[in-house]
Amino acid sequence: MIKKVASVGLPVDEVLEIRKNRILPERHGGSGKRISIVTGIHGDELEGQYVCFELQRRLEGHRECLEGIVDIYPAVNPLGIDSITRGIPAFDLDMNRLFPGNIDGSMTEYVAARIIEDLAGSDCVLDIHASNIYLTEIPQIRINELHQDILVPLAEAANVDFIWVHGASTVLESTLAYSLNNIGTPTLVVEMGVGMRITQEYGNQLVDGIFHLMKKLGIWSGEAAPVRKPIISRNPEDVCYLNAGVSGLFVPVAEHGARLGRDALIGRIVDPLCGKVLDEVRAPEDGMLFTIREYPIVVEGSLMGRLLKKEVCGYE
Amino acid sequence: MNKTTLYTLKSLYRDDFRVTGYEFGSGKKSVCIVGSSRGNEVQQLYCCSQLIRKFRQLEAEGRIAAGHKILVLPSINPCSMNIQKRFWPTDNTDINRMFPGYCLGETTQRIADGVFREISEYQFGIQFTSFYMPGDFVPHVRLMDEGFSCPETARQFGLPYVVIRRVRPYDTATLNYNWQVWDTQAFSLYTTSTARIDPNSAGQAVLAVMNFLSRQDIIKYTVPGGLRSRVVNDADLISIRTAKSGIFVPMVKAGDTVEAGQPLANILEPYEGDILETLYAPLPMTAFFVHNEPLTYADTAVIKLIES
C-alpha cells in the first residue's frame, strides 16, 4: 500500500512527494510491531535501493509469515537521487543535518519533520547508507554511544560484519538516527558498499539480517537464515585511519576486507604526469581493512582506508 | 605590511592551495579578520581587499597603535573560488563546518586545523560570512548566544543591528563558535550580498570594522557620528513565508521600512503569470532579509522583518 509521507509543490509544474510502501500482514491480529526501512537521505547512496526491492521480493513469497508491519521508505530525498546529488539540490544542504526538522519551518525542515513524525513509534528503524562515492565499506552498523544499550542487541541480529559504537558529537544531533533514538524510536544506521553503485552481495546479506531482526521482534514467523557474529568496537583506539600524505592517484594493492600484517602494502599514491610513485600506503598495525578508497584521485588528507586492529577482530 | 603564506596544500594537477595572510602592526594578537570560506563569497573577499588597502595606508601613516597586530585572511578557500563552487572541490565539504580542524584528518579538517593554528589566540575575531539561503541582508553583526562575545562590544561596529543567534548543533563546527571556545571574542559580519559585489554595503562593512578597531584603540581613525545598534535575538525576526511555490517578485529590498499591510512580494504562477499569493507586512518594520532568487519554494521564509 503506497502512502504519501510528505508533499510539497515545487515552483514549476511538479510536486515533490516522499512515499512509503506499507506492507501489512495478510491476516488480522499479529504482533502489531513495526519495522521501518529508510534509505536515500543522501541521493548518491544507492545500496539501500536494492535492499528495499529484495526485501519486498522475499516478503511476497511468504506473506503468510508476516506478523507485523513493514514500512519501506526507499527515497526520502527523491530530488537528490534523481539528480545524483548527495544533498538536497538547490539548497546544497545535507538532509541528514536537518532533523528533527520543523513542521512550521521551511520546505526542507517540513519534509524532515514529516519523516520523523511518520517513523516515530516504529519498533526498529534501519537507516541504510552507502558510505559515499569515495569509500567502500563492509556491512556495518554505527551506533552513538548514548544509545548503545538498546541498539547493540538489535544490531547483533542484523547480520552485519561490524558494529561500531562511536562517541557522541554535537554535530550528529541533527541526524535522522539521533533524532529518532532521542524520542525512543530505536534506529540503526547501516553503512555498506559504496556510493552510486549496488553491491548485491552486501544487499542480500543485509536482507537476511532484516528477516532475522524481524523474527526477533515478532514481525516474521517464517524461516530466517542464521546471522554472522559481528565484531563490536567501542574504543576509538580500535580503528586506524589512513589518510593520504600527498595528493595523487591512489592505486590499491590490498583487497577490501583483507587481514593485513603490520607494514603490509595497501596501495600506492602515484603521479601520472611524471610516472613516479609519490608515497606508499602501509598498514600501521595488524588488522582488517574494513574501509578502502574507491575514488582514485586523492588530495592530502583524503581518507584512503580504515583498519580495525587485529585484537578487536579476534582472528588468528 | 607583511604578506605571508599561512597554509599550503599540494594538488596533483592544480597550483598549490595557499591561504595567504596580511599582517599589520606588531605586538599582541589583537584582531584577526577572515574573508571568504566558501567559493561564492566574493563580497566577503572584496571587503577584505578593501580593508587591506586601508590598513596598508594606516600603517604607512603610523596610525596602527603600537603593540597591536592585525591579521587579515582574504580567503581561506581560493581553490573553490577559482572554479565557482561553494564548497570544497573534491568532496563538497564546507571548511566552515570543520573547525577547529584536525591535523591528521581529512583534507578540509586539515585546512581548518592549519588555518585555526594561525588565527586563534587573537583577542577579537571577525568573519565575513554568508547565509545558506540566497538573499540580501541589511548589514549586521552576529554573535552566538553561548561564549563570551558581548553585545555591547558588538555595538562598537556601529552597524544598524546586532543579532544574537541561538546556537544550533551544526554551529559547533563553525569558525565563529570555535574562536570563542579558545577565548577569542568572535563576530560574524553580514553584508548585503554574497556572490556579487555590492560596493556600498562593502564600504559600510569596511567602515564598521574601522569603527570597531578605532573604539578598541587598535587604530587611529576618525569615527563618524556613532550609530547606536539595536540588539535583537534571531527569534525576534518575523519570517514572512510563502504558502505557494512559483516565481518570486519582490516589491521591497533589504533595508526598506515598510508599513503595516504593505505588499512585500508576489508569487506568480510560472506558466500563466497569475498572482498565486501576495505577501504583506503584518507590522510597520524594516525588511532585514529579502530572498533574491527568481523562483521560490512553498513554506520558505523569503522575507524577514525586524523592528525599525
Same domain, A40 and A119: yes
Same domain, A150 and A117: yes
On whether the CB atoms of residues B46 and B192 are closer than 8 A, the answer is: no
CA B166 to chain CA mean position, Å: 17
Percent of chain A with pLDDT over 70: 99
Same domain, A107 and A88: yes
Same domain, B225 and B273: no
On whether the CB atoms of residues B192 and B136 are closer than 8 A, the answer is: yes
Same domain, A13 and A103: yes
Same domain, B179 and B225: yes
Same domain, B186 and B268: no
A277 at interface of B, judged by CB pairs closer than 8 A: no
Of A12, A107, A171, the CB nearest to B173: A171
Give me the number of domains chain B comprises. 2
Final residue belonging to a domain, choices B233, B255, B274 = B233
Give the CATH number of the domain where residue B182 resides. Answer: 3.40.630.10
Residues B106, A243: C-beta atoms closer than 8 Å: yes
Which of A114, A134, A247 to mutate to test binding with chain B, by most B CBs within 10 Å of its CB?
A247
Same domain, A78 and A60: yes
Final residue belonging to a domain, choices A175, A200, A233 = A233
- pLDDT value for B170: 82
Same domain, A9 and A87: yes
Same domain, A10 and A141: yes
Final residue belonging to a domain, choices A217, A233, A249 = A233
DSSP-assigned states of every residue in B127-185? EE---SS-EEE--EEEEESSSS--HHHHGGG--SEEEEEPPPGGGGGSHHHHHHHTT-E
Of B87, B109, B271, the CB nearest to A13: B271
Final residue belonging to a domain, choices A182, A204, A233 = A233
Residues A10, B297: C-beta atoms closer than 8 Å: yes
Judged by CB atoms within 8 Å, which residues 55-114 of B form the interface with A? 86-87, 90-92, 97, 104-111
Residues B13, A249: C-beta atoms closer than 8 Å: no
Return d(Cα A59, Cα A76) in angstroms, integer: 22
Instruction: For B173, name the nearest residue in chain A, comparing CA atoms only.
Output: A171
| Residue numbers of chain B with a pLDDT score lower than 70 | 225-226
Q: A1: distance to nearest CA of chain B, Å?
A: 28
Return d(Cα B107, Cα B119) in angstroms, integer: 18
Residues B246, A11: C-beta atoms closer than 8 Å: yes
Give the CATH number of the domain where residue A275 resides. Answer: 2.40.50.100
Residues A174, B296: C-beta atoms closer than 8 Å: no
B184 at interface of A, judged by CB pairs closer than 8 A: no
Same domain, B86 and B164: yes
The average confidence (pLDDT) of chain A is 95
Same domain, A243 and A223: no
Same domain, A107 and A29: yes
Q: Could you report the per-residue pLDDT of B151-162, keeping only the tens digit for each?
A: 999 999 999 999
Q: Could you report the per-residue pLDDT of A88-106, keeping only the tens digit for each?
A: 988 888 999 999 999 888 8
Same domain, B54 and B122: yes
Residues B12, A110: C-beta atoms closer than 8 Å: no
Query: HSE-up of A194 (CA within 13 Å, CB side)?
Result: 14
Which of A91, A300, A302, A306 to mutate to test binding with chain B, by most B CBs within 10 Å of its CB?
A300
For residue A30, is pLDDT > 80?
no
- pLDDT value for A182: 96
Give the CATH number of the domain where residue A162 resides. Answer: 3.40.630.10
Helix (H) or strand (E) holding A139: strand A135-144
Same domain, A226 and A242: no
Q: How many CB atoms lie within 10 A of CB A12?
A: 12
Of B10, B13, B298, the CB nearest to A8: B298
- Decide: helix, strand or coil at residue A147: helix
Same domain, B187 and B294: no
N-terminal to C-terminal alpha carbon distance within chain A: 49
Same domain, B203 and B287: no
Residues A11, B299: C-beta atoms closer than 8 Å: no
Same domain, B226 and B259: no
Of B110, B170, B245, the CB nearest to A300: B110
- pLDDT value for B226: 65
- pLDDT value for B1: 96
Residue B85's domain comprises 2-233
Give me the number of domains chain A comprises. 2
Final residue belonging to a domain, choices B233, B254, B281 = B233
Q: Could you report the per-residue pLDDT of A139-179, keeping only the tens digit for each?
A: 999 999 999 999 999 999 999 999 999 987 777 889 999 99
Q: How many CB pairs under 8 A join A and B?
A: 93
- pLDDT value for B89: 93
Same domain, A241 and A105: no
Same domain, B192 and B299: no
Final residue belonging to a domain, choices B198, B233, B268 = B233
- pLDDT value for A38: 98
Same domain, B41 and B70: yes
Mean pLDDT, residues A123-147 taken together: 96
Which of B104, B107, B109 to mutate to test binding with chain A, by most A CBs within 10 Å of its CB?
B107
Same domain, B149 and B277: no
Q: Which residues pair with A104 in a beta bridge?
A: none
B9 at interface of A, judged by CB pairs closer than 8 A: yes
Same domain, B155 and B275: no
Same domain, A21 and A44: yes
Chain B residues with beta carbon closer than 8 angstroms to that of A249: 12
Mean pLDDT, residues A265-288 taken together: 97
Residue A297's domain comprises 236-313
Q: What's the pLDDT band for A316 if we cut at 50, 70, 90? A: low
Residues A9, B296: C-beta atoms closer than 8 Å: no
Residues B132, A243: C-beta atoms closer than 8 Å: no
A167 at interface of B, judged by CB pairs closer than 8 A: no
Residues B172, A249: C-beta atoms closer than 8 Å: no
Return d(Cα B179, Cα B176) in angstroms, integer: 5
Q: B198: distance to nearest CA of chain A, Å?
A: 23
Q: A284: distance to nearest CA of chain B, Å?
A: 14
Chain B residues with beta carbon closer than 8 angstroms to that of A302: 90-91, 106-107
